[in-house]
Amino acid sequence: MTAHGPKTTSDSLFTQYFSTLKEPRRTTKGNFQYPLEEILFLTISSIISGWHEDWDDIIYFGENNLGWLRKFYPYKNGIPSHDVLNRLYNRLDTKEFNQCFMKWAGSIATKTEGRVIPIDGKTVRGNASNLNSSKLHIVSAFCAKNALCLGQVKVGSKSNEITAIPELLDLIAVKGCTVTIDAMGCQRAIAEKIIDKEADYILMVKENQAELKEQIEKVFRIQKPEKTNIQEDLGHGRIEKRTCEAITKLDFLDTKENWTGLRSVIKITSERTIKKTDVYSSETRYYISSLLGDAALMNNSIRNHWAIENNLHWSLDVIMKEDGQLNYVANAAENMNMMKKMALGMIVNEKSIKKSKAKKMKKALMDESYRELLLRV
């Protein structure tokens, strides 16, 4: 994609990583009026400005910001219609779009080894395709340090996260990182895949691996933890205490040889006291890991796993209102999901002002220079 307007943006962060995306429409037809790059730029600009609930939102934003948009692309025929947007995003190849998305994310994500990469799935409950077929379920990889989605894989209607996670691991660079996955991903093949990718893992163990969980509980009953780390948080009207205990002497773990790279078992005890009511609760969780007994690192990594829930899934639901949107169907739902993750990445990684994501989006709507800063144009 190359801009042909008064201001060339082909070197902008957004445009250059999508230059290989194939145009799915017949451009030789006489009625071809809206170039792909114009529609993509319009869409991402609209999303970061808070207009993203349906195609009409994007059109409304475009019609009211056409002069600004023409600083970067010609928009010779104005703003495309609802049908044009819907057809394009349904025809765009989701795997090609994901490849472009991952190149863009990789350019922003911290390159240092030791990153924590949580992997988790989310169902897009509002997409209209679920009215007649299965709901769109996506497994995403997240860079906790940058609060940035690194890539995703759609879970097939006859598949599940267990098969999608190895496919996602094949797409992203995880060498030197720690991959964290909840109990669904606690599978021998997944542990082996992570080690093959020269990364470490922390996998939650629950009843889906009942024998392994029982053995870990037994190990903690008969052995004293070699490493312990305690962390406390006092904010948000509550006191939270997380105790991480790690054991690396696994002689009593009968199934340890079945798990490639296994070097530690972990016990996390989470305690919470609500200050106002003095209500106390406690929860114990178990994990296996290829890390060797660094309890502080393990505690931080497990805590960072929830960043994908708190910073990505929550933002998609509450800020982007994804679960309430019925207008995006089929490929469009998946492609727009990636667009919104890109917009969130742009917003979170812009550090010039200390504001919430929602307030940054409001500023982008009202302040063209700030919008350009987010888009890096």
Query: In this predicted structure, what is the pLDDT of residue 327?
Result: 60
Query: In this predicted structure, what is the pLDDT of residue 2?
Result: 41
Would you state the CATH architecture of domain 97-314? Alpha-Beta Complex (3.90)
Given its phi and psi angles, is residue 219 left (phi above 0), alpha (psi -120 to 50 degrees) or beta?
alpha
Q: Tell me, what DSSP letter sits at residue 317?
A: I
Query: In this predicted structure, what is the pLDDT of residue 172?
Result: 92
Residue intervals of the chain classified under CATH 3.90.350 are: 97-314
In angstroms, rounded to a whole number, what is the distance separating the alpha carbons of residues 340 and 49? 11
In angstroms, rounded to a whole number, what is the distance separating the alpha carbons of residues 115 and 119? 13
Query: In this predicted structure, what is the pLDDT of residue 1?
Result: 42
Give yes or no for a contact between 276 and 295, defined as CB atoms under 8 angstroms apart: no
Query: In this predicted structure, what is the pLDDT of residue 306?
Result: 84
In angstroms, rounded to a whole number, what is the distance separating the alpha carbons of residues 329 and 306? 29
In angstroms, rounded to a whole number, what is the distance separating the alpha carbons of residues 77 and 116? 46
In angstroms, rounded to a whole number, what is the distance separating the alpha carbons of residues 68 and 41? 12
Query: In this predicted structure, what is the pLDDT of residue 6?
Result: 47
Residue that has been written with the tokens 């500023």 in this structure = 363
Task: Return the bridge partners of 140, or none.
Answer: 120, 152
List strands edge to edge, sheet with 178-181: 148-154, 136-143, 116-124, 178-181, 200-205, 279-289, 264-274, 238-247, 227-233
Maximum Cα interatomic distance, the chain, rounded to a whole number of Å: 77
pLDDT 10s per residue in the chain (377 long)? 444 444 544 456 556 888 888 999 887 766 678 999 999 999 999 999 999 989 999 999 999 999 999 999 999 999 999 999 999 999 999 999 999 999 888 887 766 567 899 999 988 765 544 444 567 889 999 988 888 899 999 987 667 889 999 999 999 999 999 999 999 999 999 999 999 999 999 999 999 999 999 999 999 999 999 999 999 988 778 899 999 999 999 998 988 999 999 999 999 999 999 988 999 999 999 999 999 979 999 999 999 998 888 888 888 888 887 766 556 667 888 999 999 999 999 999 999 999 999 999 999 999 999 999 999 88
Which of 65, 60, 152, 73 minimizes the C-alpha distance to 105?
Answer: 152
Q: Write the DSSP string, 3-47.
A: --SSS--TTSHHHHTTTTPPP-S-TTSTT--S-HHHHHHHHHHHH
| Backbone φ and ψ of 150, nearest 5° | -95, -20
In angstroms, rounded to a whole number, what is the distance separating the alpha carbons of residues 240 and 359? 28
Q: Write the DSSP string, 328-359.
A: --HHHHHHHHHHHHHHHHHHHT--SS---HHH
Segments in 109-148 forming alpha helices (H): none
Range 236-241, long-range pairs (CB < 8 A, 24+ positions):
237/274, 237/275, 237/276, 238/272, 238/273, 238/274, 238/275, 239/272, 239/273, 239/275, 240/270, 240/271, 240/272, 241/270, 241/271, 241/272
Which of 106, 187, 142, 190 minimizes the C-alpha distance to 304?
Answer: 142
Radius of gyration of the chain (CA): 23
Query: In this predicted structure, what is the pLDDT of residue 283?
Result: 96
Give yes or no for a contact between 240 and 233, defined as CB atoms under 8 angstroms apart: yes
Q: Which amino acid is at 108?
A: I
Query: In this predicted structure, what is the pLDDT of residue 28?
Result: 74
Query: In this predicted structure, what is the pLDDT of residue 79?
Result: 97
Which whole-number Å values give the CA distances from 22 to 86, 92, 96, 338, in the listed order?
Answer: 17, 8, 8, 16
